[in-house]
Each structure stands twice: as C-alpha cells, then as structure tokens.
Amino acid sequence: MSILRLRGREFGIGDHAVMAVVNRTPDSFFDKGKTYGFGAALEAVDAAVEGGADIVDIGGVKAGPGELVDAAEEIRRVADLVSAVRERHPDLVISVDTWRSEVGDVVARAGADLLNDTWGGVDPLLAEVAAKHGVGLVCAHAGRVEPRTRPHRIAYADVVADVIGYTVDLAERAVAAGVSRESILIDPAHDFGKNTFHSLEVSRRLDEMVATGWPVLVAVSNKDFVGETLGGLPVDERHAGTIATLAVSALQGARVFRVHDAASARAALAEVDRLNPHPRPADG
C-alpha cells in the first residue's frame, strides 16, 4: 500500500482525509448556487477547514447536464478563488475538479495541489500538466462517456473489474507522464457512467480497489444512488445514507472522502477508527 503525499502532507494506511466540496457554480445539484459568489465560496472554505477538512475541492462546472461552461468561464470561476484560498490557508491541500488541461495549467499556477479528473482522462494532456507542475492527479472511472452526460442503459460484464482496470491503467499512464506515484489516487466515481446497481456493487467491493495498492478516493456525498437505494429520497434527505456509505468505504480501506459536510464526515470517520477491528499498522 502506498503513501499518499500532497503538499508535503502524508496520508498513510489507516489515515482518513476529508475532502470538502466547494462549488463555484450557479446550478450545483446540492447547494443550488449557494457558494457561487466569491465571498460565499471563501466562507465555505473557512467553514470546511474549521470542520476538519484536509483538502478542499473547488469546482467550476456542474457535473450533470446544464448550461455550457467553456474553459475560459471555468477558469474565471476557479482560478482567483484558488489564489485567495492559498493565501488564506497556506497549508491546506487545494484540489480543483476539472477534466480540462488548460484549466489545470492555470489553477496549478494559482496554487492548486491536486487535479481531480472526475471524467476519467478524456483530456490526456491533463496528466502532463500535473507532471509539469508537480501536483497530484485523481484518476477516475466514468464509463468512457463524454463529460456532463448521463448514458442510457450502460452495462458492464463486471463493473468492479472495469473500474479497476481503467483507473489503474490511467494511474500508470500518469506515472509514465511524470506524475509522482505518491500523488495519484484512483476513484470509482459513483454515479458517473453507472446506474445505482453499479454504484452499489462498487461500494460493496471497494476493498478490491484498495487491494491494488493505489490510494482510493470515494465521492458518494448525497449522490443519486444513495437516494434511490433509500426509496427515492431527495438530495436534502440523503445525509444518513451518505454517512453509512462513508463508513463502509472507510472500513474497506478508502483513504480520501469527498463530502459536502466536512464536520459530519470527520466525526463519522473518527468513530470508524474507534470501532475498526483492524487498527492501523505500526509505522516502520
């Protein structure tokens, strides 16, 4: 199992890093634009840090279908915010949720430490950008679909095998491009190119991803598969399901947890640590 290193920080086996979501979008599925304003976004970062976030993931484009946001607009939304957060929180690990290499280049210069490519390598130059700036990279599985689309009747012979094969290949390609092996994570990307059955199967078998040795990131917070599993709950009633899924993921060895509520996630993960029958191995 590898050590994850980001901005001089180390997250080893048994460590749980909370990644807080801050969206500078007017149409986020969760907050509906609450943190779109620059000041509101900065306040959200402050609150996340106060709540125990190790990483803040800044996004400028809604994941689902919606208004067209080109690279220039995405940069306008996120680059200055990254700069301000870097000045405000010098030691915070800053991630930017983007699939575009041109955006990655600008935000890395602005102070980002991690490029969170939730759409699974649709822009192969993004890994080169990460290598150029010495920042980390998230290698995700999105079912080989176009960004911001919801494929109809997508199918896999074995979704977990597909996820593992695809993300590990992306990770090895990133290493070949010059990205530090210790700054790469793999992400099954629940709900991206997957239906609820697929996302549940990945959750149940997450330990198979962990067994690859790559640090695993899970982003399940308030997602559709959580709501559908619990009988069709709306977004604002998925918190309990989110926390349960985080706990299951942590017990299987996930390392980074992307969430909307950093304080609740931190408290839940602390309880997992207390209950875990397999404590963190001794260092050395």
34-62 average pLDDT score: 97
4-275 CATH, one of 3.40.50.300, 3.20.20.20, 3.30.479.20, 3.30.160.110: 3.20.20.20
pLDDT of residue 148: 94
pLDDT of residue 43: 98
For residue 283, name the pLDDT band (cuts at 50, 70, 90). very low
Gyration radius of the chain over CA positions: 17
Element holding 243 (H helix, E strand): helix 239-251
- Checking if the pLDDT of 277 tops 80, the result is no
pLDDT of residue 242: 98
CB atoms within 10 A of CB 253: 17
Measured in residues, the chain has a length of 284
Digit-coded pLDDT (tens) for 140-193: 999 999 999 988 889 999 999 999 999 999 999 999 999 999 999 999 999 999
> Letter for the amino acid at 144?
R
Percent of the chain with pLDDT over 70: 97
Digit-coded pLDDT (tens) for 202-248: 999 999 999 999 999 999 999 999 999 999 999 999 999 999 999 99
Short-list 54, 66, 55, 53, CA closest to 25: 66
Short-list 224, 211, 196, CA closest to 254: 211
The domain ranges of the chain are: 4-275
